Amino acid sequence: MAMAAKTGGTSKSLRIRRHILGYLFASPWLIGLLAFVAYPVISTIYYSFTQYSVLMPPQWVGLFNYEELFMYDDLFWTSISNTFYYTLISVPLGLAVALGLAVLLNQKLPGLPIFRTIFYLPSIVPVVGMSILWMWLLNPQYGLINGLIHDIFGIQGPGWIADPAWSKPALILMSLWTVGGQMIVFLAGLQGVPSYLYESASIDGASKWRQFWQVTVPMLTPTIFFNLIMGIINGMQTFTQSFIMTNGGPADSTLFYVFYLFNNAFRYFRMGYASAMAIILFIIIFILTLVVLWSSKRWVHYETA
């Protein structure tokens, strides 16, 4: 009996020691989670109910910030409209271009690694540098794009980022330059499609186009699902292009949500107001993600053993 009790006590002590060691090894990550994720999130929720200018202590105002956003702030609705417009067009268009490039670069041809690298490189260029480059490309007077339009078609190109009607399409066009990351993910998905499916479809007389829609696309739906989620999250947080290239103009046509949040926080020093905007942005992205997750049951197909 005494020996059994001693053995049980030793085993319990060993388990406790292992738990302590486990928490010690995980402590850097846990400290980082608490300091850089949990604390900022909790602080943002608290400040969203306050009037806080950084220079003065926060004052509790309850739901006043949210009421002002929804009832009295026209720029709030403008920024939401601009962001949804940009996201709803740039994300599907980017997915289509990335998938098309991945299909082309999945062929067994010489020199493909070089072309894959060329198409991927723009996606790792810093957004600030890319924005400065595209400011020149989209310049209505001496930009390369309008120059090509004039040389090929003999007409004057649009004003692009200087024209409210063309500013968002210009930034959407610019976003296609960075589809290399999605292309790599699609390329990995394509290489995971079993070859026997194409062989069976070919034996049944399916054309290449039909094989693409009946074999390739269904097998890539998990990859499309992943890229779609990431594209929505990134699209709803678009900021740098507007900040560097247009400053939200012309006529607030590129005043995206995060850029307006930045203005309230760091230009107008309305930290409480900006915190309320951050909470609303989180809710919007969360709802959009849930909608995509819910719809995925109908169109995402997983290979079964």
Q: Which amino acid is at 90?
A: S
Q: Which region among 38-47, 102-111, 124-133, 283-292 has the lowest average model confidence (pLDDT)?
A: 102-111
Within 8 A by CB and 6+ apart from 299, the residues are: 221
CA distance 213 to 6: 67
What pLDDT is recorded for position 55?
A: 85
Please report which confidence band the pLDDT of residue 6 belongs to, taking 50, 70 and 90 as the band edges: low
Residue recorded with tokens 């400053």: 247
What pLDDT is recorded for position 197?
A: 87
Please report which confidence band the pLDDT of residue 7 belongs to, taking 50, 70 and 90 as the band edges: low
Please report the sign of the dihedral spanned by the C-alpha atoms of residue 214, residue 215, residue 219, residue 224. negative
Beta strand pairing call for 59-60 and 50-51 = antiparallel
Report CA-CA distances (Å) from 279 to 114, 176, 284, 294: 44, 29, 9, 22
Give the pair of three-digit tokens for residue 87: 């996201």
- Contact status, residue 89 vs residue 205, Cβ threshold 8 Å: no
CA distance 99 to 76: 34
Judging by beta carbons within 10 Å of its beta carbon (0-12, 13-18, 19+), is residue 286 exposed, middle or buried? exposed
Considering the entire predicted model, what is its pTM?
A: 0.89
CA distance 168 to 44: 30
Q: 59 - beta bridge partners? A: 51
**pLDDT tens per residue, range 48-60:** 999 998 888 999 9
Characterise 230 by phi-psi region: left (phi > 0), alpha (psi -120 to 50), beta (else): alpha
